[in-house]
Chains A and B, each alone.
Chain A
């Protein structure tokens, strides 16, 4: 293991986050706070409790997941796309580092950033609505797994993209709809039966459901299924990343 290299890349990526503090931390916090003002305070007061939890509290896990997903994606995809774009990637590719070390450092940094963000949003939410966490260890597990998985997905997008449009395309066209329709703002039990079935093909449902269960002990699907699906998604992403490095796809002609 080239630990010096992992540390160098990791620190480089974290330094980039501090330089772009507004974009990486402050703006997600502001937008999440707005959600609480609108859905929690303004509209939420007119919505009855969902499975025994006030609506404002009910949406907290989903909102944290929403930010975690989008931020993991954008952190990781930008982190690897930008050096490709400027050409500075040559240095990493010519260094005595393994592919595993490259992934650990880039994905690790991206996941760290979104985890920090997740915790900040949780703290912000606690100022607006009452929150209880029934299974703290599972909460952390879901948080970490999701951050890592979607950072890996972001890494893949950052290598696949050959322009800034594509870099925005996947998060905008696929991830955001999936996240909004994944039960962030509602329990899928509220949907008509047909849509309940359709929703089960949305991977985000499992993340949000499992995460919400770790808070309030209520879930759309069983926590074990949630955990299993999360691991499945993680395994798929790891498989794709392994393929990328084996073939040199878009990295080494």
Chain B
């Protein structure tokens, strides 16, 4: 299947000489939710801005739905809805007019029924005749999403969508993204909140200092890089790890009340059943065990440390 968005050799050097993107190659599949993860200043917004036509790439090509974003910008941009990071809205317009304006701007004839459905789905319907400046921050964020969806885009960019957003809106937004995916919309979100990528994305790309370090299915990524930890709560504290258990590489913690075993989730060789048997054989009594899988956050921090 052809990718929905394809970046090849995309480079961006700003006038001041700062290189924001370094030969980025990236394919985003139609209908997926792709999370672009990276620290502040990594190049996430620059990448999105180039695809959406706000910033001009220095070299390389970008296609959206097979349309080159420079030579065939009309067809490419008509497919895209962009929710920017900043809450940039007109103050004096009403919600209804602002969303209708966006639809016209993207070349679509008026469709009040569709605008109504967008506003309702974002809980903005009651506010349709209010001036934008009377809205709360969260409502403005909803409005920006409504504007981005006003022309029925096939690709939706969400640049840091949940920065400074309350829990309710975050949940609504996630539900909306899932609904859009069901309708076949490709969603690209940038974030530095890892739980967001973990919760939402099908695939994750990690960007740092203008380079894509890694692109992977979320499950594969977590599986591949995920470390698991088994912690055994002991009945009696141990002064030292018994000699016979040395090969397991256990760590004593909680003043000898617990032993921690770190293992790779992929490593099938050394099952935890074997460890528990070995513990019993060594005469170590335990009262509780628990396991913990490393989160995407741990993986991410590990990756960045590696790259640095």
Q: Are A94 and B80 in contact (CB under 8 A)?
A: yes
Q: Are B107 and A4 in contact (CB under 8 A)?
A: yes
Q: Which residues of A contact B80 (CB under 8 A)?
A: 94
* Nearest residue, chain B, Cβ from A87: B88
* Nearest residue, chain B, Cβ from A93: B54
Q: Which of B98-106, B182-190, B233-241, B242-250 forms contacts with chain A?
A: B98-106
Q: Which residues of A contact B103 (CB under 8 A)?
A: 4, 8
Question: Residue-by-residue, is A2-30 near B (CB-CB < 8 Å gives 1, otherwise 0)?
Answer: 10110111011001100100000000000
* Nearest residue, chain B, Cβ from A12: B101
For chain A, the count of residues having a C-beta within 8 Å of the partner chain is: 27
With A87-B86, A91-B102 in contact, do A5 and B107 touch (Cβ < 8 Å)? yes
Which chain B residues in 45-87 approach chain A with CB under 8 Å?
52-56, 73-78, 80, 82, 84, 86
Q: Which of B89-97, B273-281, B283-291 forms contacts with chain A?
A: B89-97
Cβ of B168 under 8 Å from chain A: no
Q: Which residues of A contact B108 (CB under 8 A)?
A: 4
With A4-B104, A95-B77, A95-B106 in contact, do A253 and B15 touch (Cβ < 8 Å)? yes
With A9-B105, A88-B90 in contact, do A94 and B97 touch (Cβ < 8 Å)? no
Bound: A11/B73 CA distance, A? 24
With A91-B147, A248-B56 in contact, do A5 and B88 touch (Cβ < 8 Å)? no
Which chain A residues in 223-253 approach chain B with CB under 8 Å?
248, 252-253
CB distance from A112 to the nearest CB of B (A): 18
Question: Residue-by-residue, is A21-54 near B (CB-CB < 8 Å gives 1, otherwise 0)?
Answer: 0000000000000000000000000000000000
Q: Are B84 and A96 in contact (CB under 8 A)?
A: no
Bound: A87/B84 CA distance, A? 10
Q: Are B92 and A19 in contact (CB under 8 A)?
A: yes
Q: Which residues of A contact B14 (CB under 8 A)?
A: 253
Cβ of B109 under 8 Å from chain A: yes
Bound: A253/B21 CA distance, A? 14
Q: Are B55 and A15 in contact (CB under 8 A)?
A: no
Bound: A221/B155 CA distance, A? 59
Q: Are B78 and A96 in contact (CB under 8 A)?
A: yes
Q: Are B104 and A93 in contact (CB under 8 A)?
A: no
Question: Residue-by-residue, is A43-75 near B (CB-CB < 8 Å gives 1, otherwise 0)?
Answer: 000000000000000000000000000000000
Contact of A252 among B56, B88, B100, B107 (CB under 8 A): B56
Bound: A67/B25 CA distance, A? 54
Bound: A15/B93 CA distance, A? 9
Q: Are A96 and B74 in contact (CB under 8 A)?
A: yes
CB distance from A246 to the nearest CB of B (A): 11
Bound: A244/B80 CA distance, A? 25
Q: Which residues of B contact A11 (CB under 8 A)?
A: 101
Contact of B106 among A5, A83, A86 (CB under 8 A): A5
Q: Are B90 and A86 in contact (CB under 8 A)?
A: yes
Cβ of A128 under 8 Å from chain B: no
Q: Are B84 and A90 in contact (CB under 8 A)?
A: yes
Q: Are B52 and A7 in contact (CB under 8 A)?
A: no
Q: Are B105 and A5 in contact (CB under 8 A)?
A: yes
Q: Are B74 and A2 in contact (CB under 8 A)?
A: yes
Cβ of A175 under 8 Å from chain B: no
Bound: A93/B106 CA distance, A? 11
Q: Which residues of A contact B73 (CB under 8 A)?
A: 96
Q: Are A94 and B77 in contact (CB under 8 A)?
A: yes
* Nearest residue, chain A, Cβ from B55: A253
Contact of B54 among A8, A9, A94 (CB under 8 A): A94
Counting chain B CB atoms within 10 Å of each CB, the highest count among A9, A19, A94 belongs to A94
* Nearest residue, chain A, Cβ from B12: A253
Q: Which residues of B contact A252 (CB under 8 A)?
A: 53-56
Bound: A94/B52 CA distance, A? 5
Query: Which A positions have Cβ atoms within 8 angstroms of B?
Result: 2, 4-5, 7-9, 11-12, 15-16, 19, 83, 86-88, 90-98, 248, 252-253
Q: Closest 8 A-B residue pairs measured CB to CB? A: A8-B104, A87-B88, A96-B74, A96-B77, A94-B52, A95-B105, A4-B104, A2-B107
24 A-B residue contacts at CB 8 Å? A2-B107, A4-B106, A4-B109, A5-B105, A5-B107, A7-B104, A8-B104, A8-B105, A16-B92, A83-B90, A86-B89, A87-B88, A90-B54, A90-B84, A91-B105, A92-B105, A94-B54, A94-B80, A96-B74, A97-B105, A248-B56, A252-B53, A252-B54, A253-B15
Query: Which B positions have Cβ atoms within 8 angstroms of A?
Result: 14-15, 52-56, 73-78, 80, 82, 84, 86, 88-93, 97, 100-109, 147
Given contacts A93-B53, A93-B54, list 17 more A-B pairs with CB under 8 A: A4-B109, A5-B104, A8-B100, A8-B101, A15-B97, A19-B92, A86-B89, A90-B54, A91-B102, A94-B80, A95-B107, A96-B78, A97-B107, A248-B56, A252-B53, A253-B15, A253-B55
